[in-house]
A and B are shown apart, each in its own frame.
Chain A
Amino acid sequence: MKLVASILALAIGTISCDGTTEVVIEHQHQVSGQGSVLHSIQTSNRPHRGVRRYEVHGEVRGAQHALSYIEEVADDGKGCFRIRPVEVTSNLVDTFLYRGMLEERQAFMRRYRDVELRNLELVFENYEVSDLGIDEDVAGRACELLSIVSRDGERRYELAVDTESAMVLRYAEIDSDGLITRSMEYLELDLEADLSDLDCFENTITEREFSDGDDLGYEPWDPRVLPDGYRELETSRISGPLGGQWLKKTYTDGIEALFLLQREAAQKKTAGAAIAQVADEVMVYTEGLLTVLQGKIAGREVIAVGRASADELLSFLDSGKP
């Protein structure tokens, strides 16, 4: 029950404070310093092999869609991994093709798909964490159940955390109507698996940390109006075959991630002054709770992706302009 005790201590501490950010943050520093269980969840990356099921439900163009698939995962915990979709159990147009497409995206899936505690301070600022007081077996391993509820009541997460490894073996995201919007569950897990024959996925996209000394050749945009509860997490530079070099800023509310990619738009000769003065344009695409913006503003190519409303993301983007 170590996990439960730590979480409860953490949760009670947070709830009992007077609500000011400073107190929560100070409390979190103390907890992190003691090696809290949440910190373990945040950093847990145990080598393993397993089989898991992922499901997502959402509205696309006014119709409800459900997608679920089963995947095999092997991860050495040091960056070498392979995720192989083995079965797509939804009514897709072409499940064979879809499996291939998922496999192609495995680096993105591994990094961003699952519920993750990206920043503990923000988790406690924006969510209420509590122990559900239930112990459960997931994939044959003892887990304790946690509930993480957003302070605006819009969504909550139920996590089953392996008491020994601190890995999240099951999670469900539930909206304000009580409907599951996405979930993941390990069906099998082997933490002692032989990974000597692991054939690492070769990621063609490279990402490295951006430092202030790096010369971009332009001044990065720094949006001031972030969606509620979000703060900047990190800045990096990415490059690869999906369209050259980008500066990527990642924001988080503690759990969810929001990205802003930017780069200088290619200079093109225009036929007349009128064309050069045409207003810039941003495309908005929504898919379930996810919004994607892509466009060109003031000579800058920008992409913003996150689980926020279109209006929030447009304000976010707009506030980044110099």
Chain B
Amino acid sequence: MAHDCRNFRQEIWPTLDESSRVEQLAKCEDCARWSAAWSQRAQALRSLEPVGAPDLLTARVSAELEGPASRLERAVQSLSRLEVPDELELRVELEELGTRSAPFLRTLDYHRAPNVLERLVNEELADPSASRARRFVGDLENAGAPPALRGRVRAWFIRPKARPGQGPSLRPVVGLAAAAAAVWMLLPLFRGERVASPRNFRVVYVESSEALSPMARSLAEGLSGTASIDATVLKPVGDE
């Protein structure tokens, strides 16, 4: 057998697709014979009936495996130890690095769900039907007031002028009272005092700086001279 034929069969043949193989066999008679012989052998092997293990052997193997733990352990220990593939080792290292570098990663920008959305989701989960009702009630078309109701409301606000003999009007008194109340309420402002006003935003107290954005954390850390000085990083004094 020519050296290039051996090389072809051992090295190149396994890498060829079907059409390339046919093409190559047409060029080389030796290779074509070799291929035909292999095909016949393969066909012959495929036609053989599979022979099962003797019942005695099966019984013994089962008895060994199901017997006392020490035997099973012996069997496992007898297996050759495989080396950890490099790829797995690399992944473990990366995992470890990821855990250690998590605080660094926290300093990078990320996009979290807005608090409002988070709260809405929580409300939805806590009471789905009430939450859904609240959400869709704003989409309902406003129904107009019946004419009779509108008339009564208008009559309430537009009072006829007092006629002679009906007594003095209360309007000046009410006006004066309103002005006095306004002055009383604004007095602290003139004195330079702060007036506590209800805020129309929700205030949520958080216990960890983790909830803050990277920019807010950076400024806080810059002012305090620390990095994430919260209880997740620092041990309390005396807690060795």
Residue of B nearest to A225 (CB): B194
Inter-subunit contact B215/A246 (CB<8 Å): yes
**B231 proximal to A (CB < 8 A):** yes
Residues of chain A lying within 8 A (CB to CB) of residue B196: 315
Q: Scoring A residues 275 to 312 as 1 if CB is less than 8 Å from chain B, else 0, what string do you get?
A: 10111111111011010101111000001011100100
Given contacts A275-B120, A278-B120, A279-B200, contact A58 B229 (CB under 8 A): yes
**B135 proximal to A (CB < 8 A):** yes
**B154 proximal to A (CB < 8 A):** no
Q: Scoring A residues 200 to 244 as 1 if CB is less than 8 Å from chain B, else 0, what string do you get?
A: 000001000000000000000000010000000000000001110
Q: Chain B: how many interface residues by the 8 Å CB criterion?
A: 60
Residue of B nearest to A110 (CB): B222
Inter-subunit contact A294/B222 (CB<8 Å): no
Residue of B nearest to A257 (CB): B223
Shortest Cβ gap from A248 to chain B (Å)? 9
**B129 proximal to A (CB < 8 A):** no
Inter-subunit contact B230/A287 (CB<8 Å): yes
Shortest Cβ gap from A62 to chain B (Å)? 9
Inter-subunit contact A92/B206 (CB<8 Å): no
Partner-binding segment picked from A13-21, A74-82, A97-105, A119-127: A97-105
For residues 111 through 141 of chain B, which have their beta carbon under 8 Å from a beta carbon of chain A?
114-116, 119-120, 134-139
**B226 proximal to A (CB < 8 A):** yes
Inter-subunit contact B216/A303 (CB<8 Å): yes
**A195 proximal to B (CB < 8 A):** no
Contact of B212 among A108, A259, A278, A292 (CB under 8 A): A292
CA distance A203 to B134 in the complex (A): 48
Residues of chain B lying within 8 A (CB to CB) of residue A112: 219, 222-223
Given contacts A295-B115, A303-B213, contact A66 B237 (CB under 8 A): yes
Residue of A nearest to B133 (CB): A274
Residues of chain A lying within 8 A (CB to CB) of residue B240: 91
Shortest Cβ gap from B124 to chain A (Å)? 11
**B104 proximal to A (CB < 8 A):** yes
Residues of chain B lying within 8 A (CB to CB) of residue A196: none
Inter-subunit contact A296/B209 (CB<8 Å): no
Inter-subunit contact A64/B236 (CB<8 Å): yes
Contact of A283 among B200, B206, B214, B223 (CB under 8 A): B206
**A113 proximal to B (CB < 8 A):** yes
**A314 proximal to B (CB < 8 A):** yes
Q: Scoring B residues 183 to 201 as 1 if CB is less than 8 Å from chain A, else 0, what string do you get?
A: 0000000000010110111
Inter-subunit contact B227/A101 (CB<8 Å): yes
Inter-subunit contact B211/A65 (CB<8 Å): no
CA distance A94 to B196 in the complex (A): 44
Inter-subunit contact B222/A111 (CB<8 Å): yes
Residue of A nearest to B227 (CB): A101
Shortest Cβ gap from B127 to chain A (Å)? 14
**A2 proximal to B (CB < 8 A):** no
Shortest Cβ gap from A285 to chain B (Å)? 5
**B202 proximal to A (CB < 8 A):** yes
CA distance A283 to B206 in the complex (A): 6
**B161 proximal to A (CB < 8 A):** no
**B32 proximal to A (CB < 8 A):** no
**B62 proximal to A (CB < 8 A):** no
Residues of chain B lying within 8 A (CB to CB) of residue A97: 100, 103-104
Given contacts A113-B222, A274-B138, contact A294 B229 (CB under 8 A): no
Residues of chain B lying within 8 A (CB to CB) of residue A306: 223
Of residues B115, B208, B226, which shows the largest number of chain A Cβ atoms within 10 Å of its Cβ? B226
**A273 proximal to B (CB < 8 A):** yes
CA distance A61 to B232 in the complex (A): 11
**A56 proximal to B (CB < 8 A):** yes
CA distance A236 to B223 in the complex (A): 18
Given contacts A67-B234, A272-B139, A279-B201, contact A61 B116 (CB under 8 A): no
Residues of chain A lying within 8 A (CB to CB) of residue B197: 318
Contact of B201 among A114, A257, A281, A285 (CB under 8 A): A281
**A182 proximal to B (CB < 8 A):** yes
CA distance A144 to B83 in the complex (A): 68
CA distance A56 to B211 in the complex (A): 22
Nearest 4 interchain pairs by C-beta = A108-B222, A273-B138, A101-B227, A63-B236
Q: List 23 A-B contacts (CB under 8 A).
A: A61-B230, A93-B232, A97-B104, A105-B227, A107-B222, A114-B225, A242-B108, A242-B109, A243-B215, A261-B215, A272-B139, A274-B136, A274-B138, A275-B135, A283-B115, A285-B206, A285-B211, A287-B229, A292-B216, A292-B217, A294-B213, A295-B201, A303-B213
Q: A100-B104, A102-B227 given. 5 additional CB < 8 A pairs?
A: A61-B207, A64-B236, A90-B234, A283-B204, A292-B217
